[in-house]
Amino acid sequence: MGKPTFFCNLTPCYIQFVMKSINPTTDEVLRHYEEHTEKGAAAIVNAVDKSWHSWRQTNFPKRSELMTGLAALLRSNKDELARLISMEMGKVIRESAAEVEKCAWVCEYYAEHAEGFLMNEAVQTSYSESYVSFRPLGVVLAVMPWNFPFWQVFRCAAPTLMAGNTMLLKHASNVTGCSLAIEDLFREAGFPDNAFRSLLLGGSRLEPVIAHPAVKAVTLTGSTPAGRSVAAAAGKNLKKCVLELGGSDPYIILEDADQEEAAGLCAGSRLLNAGQSCIAAKRFIIAEPVYEEFCSRMRTNMSKALAGDPFAEETAIGPLARKDLRDELHGQVMQSVSMGAKLTLGGYVPEGRGSFYPATILEEVTPGMPAYEEELFGPVAAMIRARNEKDAIEIANDTPFGLGAAIFTRDITRGRILAEELVEAGSCFVNDFVKSDPRLPFGGIGESGYGRELSSFGIREFVNIKTVVIK
């Protein structure tokens, strides 16, 4: 947050705060943005509410046409949009391009399937007619993070708009350029001017927006503390809320796993987006007989990952999004080492500009260490020994989080039983790393939040599930 700018030429005098976007690769200030005033924010909320009353009457074919056009617009501007993502939060450029492409996919998915997901459902009763109808709620407020600045927005915006709602976006302040670019994309694709709007506000100024009568629901992706704060405000005002929060995803490597394949997939998951993903592999729980082999393979794979300029072809890891986040991560690593963890790769703060942190491995991680107990939001792998399968499951579930998990085994029946019945998480993958997919519901349990995004479940989160009975 920059210094406040004071404007006293109006009565009464008010304060206009300024946000700034900083390139985490070079530490260069990219641009300053003035926050919306309280009156300005309220005017935007009212405009988005007014737009909803007409948008809700728009039929599905027209909504689908606009959403398909938005997908095409994303693809035709992919290079420019990817560059913006990489400039503002440091993602490697090829990953930024893939993120934009995934946004186009989710737009096309809901353009094709929304109408079917929201068709009336007949229910057999003693009445002459009874059915369930799915009707839009109104204005939905989305509070989104910086780590996937386009995907996090589109995965909730596409179903929300296709359901007939309108949306307000309060994005992370360090990706304000992305926020405004997304608003422009909706407008250029032909959506009504106020069907999707960005609010430039600090997190501390959100409660009046949540309390606004026009706002009917809130969705947040972010940290657990942020989720608690927004959920408290939503609950106080009796607003529906969906939360997708942090994670400390366990990846269980059993003794019968293909060690080479598992280590390749696990290293890739841990380093994707410089490790800044809620569903990245965080805790590697390894069966005792293969612990040394797996750790060795992980060291080999992760040591090849070059940190550097996100626009360079050879770069595998860009900078972390902010220096304070890098310093917090390093503190977690050093505290874990002081408590007995063995640092076998990385674990230092590079000299020079930018918010870089190298691929890092901590071995012999045990309960009580930050690497065991907390979410490590960066390219740090925590290696944990498990005596056997039962011990591995207990360690995996020994966390307040419950977002994603993975199991590696050649025995598919064994993997299916463990994934479905024993691992406590919103998603569990067998022999692959966890990833979101428009066709599958996404969300967590415990301190990873509640509610679901994506698939038919996601689009039904923000509708009025209405019973209609005719005698």
Distance CA 126, CA 72 (A): 48
Q: Is 4 helix (H, G, I), strand (E, B) or coil?
A: coil
Distance CA 281, CA 429 (A): 11
Q: Which residue has the tokens 């990873």?
A: 448
- What residues are annotated to the active site? 244, 278
Tokens matching residue 412: 């598919």
Distance CA 161, CA 397 (A): 36
Distance CA 376, CA 396 (A): 15
- CB of 452 within 8 A of CB of 159? no
Tokens matching residue 428: 């569990």
- CB of 107 within 8 A of CB of 433? no
- CB of 259 within 8 A of CB of 251? no
Q: What secondary structure does DSSP assign to 227-294, as a single string?
A: HHHHHHHHHHTT-EEEEE-----EEEE-TTS-HHHHHHHHHHHHHGGGG--TTS--EEEEEGGGHHHH
Distances (CA, A) of 28 to 176, 178, 319, 320, 394: 15, 17, 13, 14, 46
